[in-house]
């Protein structure tokens, strides 16, 4: 969903972008503010309607970004990387690099966004109070932004995934049950409940005359529902694979080749002969790096003879490896966070094998078949 985004730069070192879908909502909100100001304050000039409409809209999206920055700053504080902040049609999202390790971390990261929104709400109501006697424009701007930020804080605190309140709920259940899986299932279940409530309420609103508002609420419900369901699927994969250790699914089917051979050698004598798609670059039983078809395709074909594997491999320092005794969750986490297909299994610096996506999917399938 966030692939079709325009990069706008960085904030606090975090890449910031807007999804194409956001431009639609920006235009909608700006026009609706313009018409709202025009009907509430007919004595203003057209320029004032326009200027305050656009300024209010821009400050609204700045508020959404600040909300996401609230989450991001806390995540960074706990050493959790933030991949990007993106604005899209339903608001903003901070892509947090991994799940928090402790309930308290998750609680703080989740609550930080609504706290920022509530603070901004108070701030803008302050602007409204101060401007009341002197500028109707600033008073109207402050009032609208004050209300919307308080609304954002309250909406996000609804206790269901994928909203912040769902994460708050999960962190509390996690703390008191000690089970991340059970807490996730409860947060996702509650998220589905609220999503259906939104959809039903939206349909009801649409049928009783508020067509646009009703449809909008319905769409938000539908978006929440699909996100909550995705969480349920992830949680059920995790629970299906519970008890599995990395060594159980580890294979040795990747090629192991020294770094000095050429890409031409790798392709002609290994990849095109064996059908094996993953290549580990090794030095004895030490892992030096990994090469996928992606790295090979970066090099023009006429240079394959002259380019060695170690020149293009993803080096060992950049790879996350897992120990053989780790629970399978570790592999699932690395696969989804780094968007790769194989995780090297390493113990005391020695490469034992790889744990890969295909094998895990096969295992999920087998386990589900026997369960049914």
- If the CB atoms of residues 113 and 221 are measured against Zn ion, the closer one turns out to be 113
- If the CB atoms of residues 118 and 296 are measured against Zn ion, the closer one turns out to be 118
- If the CB atoms of residues 170 and 288 are measured against Zn ion, the closer one turns out to be 170
Q: How far is it, in rounded angstroms, from Cα 203 to Cα 219?
A: 10
Residue whose structure tokens are 């004050």: 146
CA triple 219-122-15, angle to 5 deg:
60
DSSP class of residue 251 equals B
Q: How far is the CB of 227 from Zn ion (least distance, A)?
A: 13
Q: How far is it, in rounded angstroms, from Cα 213 to Cα 219?
A: 10
- If the CB atoms of residues 190 and 282 are measured against Zn ion, the closer one turns out to be 190
Report the residue closest to Zn ion, judged by CB. Answer: 113
The verdict on whether omega for the bond into residue 162 sits within 30 degrees of 0, i.e. cis, is: yes
Tokens standing for residue 346: 């390493």
| C-alpha distance from residue 247 to each of 192, 323, 345, 347 (Å) | 36, 8, 8, 11
- If the CB atoms of residues 164 and 316 are measured against Zn ion, the closer one turns out to be 164
- If the CB atoms of residues 109 and 331 are measured against Zn ion, the closer one turns out to be 109
Binding part of the chain for Zn ion, among 73-81, 109-117, 207-215, 243-251 by CB under 5 A, reads 109-117
Site string for Zn ion, 293-332 (x = CB under 5 A): ----------------------------------------
Q: Which residues contact 314 (CB under 8 A, 6 or more apart)?
A: 289, 290, 291, 292, 295
DSSP symbols for 4-39: SEEEEEEETTEEEEEEHHHHHHHHHHHHHHHHHHHH
Q: How far is the CB of 67 from Zn ion (least distance, A)?
A: 5
Q: How far is the CB of 162 from Zn ion (least distance, A)?
A: 9
- Altogether, the residues listed in the chain come to a count of 372
How many residues bind Zn ion, per CB under 5 A?
3
Q: How many CA atoms lie within 13 A of 306 on its CB side?
A: 5
Binding part of the chain for Zn ion, among 44-52, 110-118, 146-154, 198-206 by CB under 5 A, reads 110-118
Q: How far is the CB of 187 from Zn ion (least distance, A)?
A: 14
Measured from the Cβ of residue 332, the count of other Cβ atoms closer than 10 Å reads: 18
Q: Can residue 164 be called a binding residue for Zn ion (CB under 5 A)?
A: yes
Binding part of the chain for Zn ion, among 27-35, 163-171, 180-188, 278-286 by CB under 5 A, reads 163-171
Site string for Zn ion, 143-162 (x = CB under 5 A): -------------x------
Q: How far is it, in rounded angstroms, from Cα 269 to Cα 263?
A: 10
Q: How far is the CB of 66 from Zn ion (least distance, A)?
A: 11
Binding part of the chain for Zn ion, among 107-115, 196-204, 245-253, 288-296 by CB under 5 A, reads 107-115
Tokens standing for residue 230: 């995705």
Q: How far is the CB of 167 from Zn ion (least distance, A)?
A: 8
> Which residues does the annotation mark as catalytic?
68
Binding part of the chain for Zn ion, among 105-113, 129-137, 223-231, 272-280 by CB under 5 A, reads 105-113
Chain contacts with Zn ion (rule: CB under 5 A): 113, 156, 164
């Amino acid at each position: 969903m966030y692939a079709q985004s325009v990069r706008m730069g960085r904030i606090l070192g975090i890449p910031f972008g807007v999804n194409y879908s956001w431009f639609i909502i920006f235009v909608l909100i700006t026009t609706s503010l313009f018409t709202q100001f025009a009907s509430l304050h007919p004595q203003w000039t057209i320029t004032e309607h326009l200027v305050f409409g656009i300024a209010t809209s821009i400050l609204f999206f700045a508020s959404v970004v600040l909300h996401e920055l609230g989450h991001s700053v806390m995540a960074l504080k706990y050493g959790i990387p933030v991949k990007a902040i993106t604005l899209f049609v339903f608001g903003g999202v901070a892509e947090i690099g991994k799940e928090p390790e402790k309930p308290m971390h998750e609680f703080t990261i989740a609550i930080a966004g609504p706290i920022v929104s509530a603070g901004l709400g108070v701030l803008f109501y302050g602007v409204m109070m101060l401007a009341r006697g002197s500028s109707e424009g600033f008073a109207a701007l402050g009032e609208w932004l004050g209300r919307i930020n308080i609304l954002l804080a309250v909406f996000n605190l609804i206790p269901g995934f994928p909203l912040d309140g769902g994460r708050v709920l999960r962190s509390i259940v996690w703390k008191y049950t000690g089970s991340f899986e059970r807490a996730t299932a409860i947060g996702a279940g509650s998220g589905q409940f609220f999503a259906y409530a939104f959809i039903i309420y939206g349909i009801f609103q649409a049928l009783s005359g508020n067509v646009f508002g009703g449809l909008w609420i319905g769409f938000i419900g539908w978006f929440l529902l699909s996100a909550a369901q995705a969480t349920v699927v992830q949680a059920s994969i995790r629970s299906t694979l519970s008890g599995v250790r990395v060594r159980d699914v580890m294979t040795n089917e990747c090629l192991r080749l020294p770094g000095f051979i050429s890409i031409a050698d790798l392709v002609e004598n290994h990849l095109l002969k064996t059908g094996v798609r993953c290549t580990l670059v090794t030095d004895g039983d030490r892992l030096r790096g990994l090469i996928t078809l992606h790295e090979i395709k970066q090099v023009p074909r006429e240079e394959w003879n002259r380019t060695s594997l170690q020149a293009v491999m993803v080096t060992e320092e950049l790879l996350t490896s897992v120990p053989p005794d780790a629970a399978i969750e570790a592999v699932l986490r690395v696969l989804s966070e780094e968007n790769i297909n194989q995780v090297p299994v390493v113990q005391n610096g020695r490469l034992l094998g790889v744990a890969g996506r295909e094998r895990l999917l096969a295992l999920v399938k087998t386990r589900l078949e026997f369960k049914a």
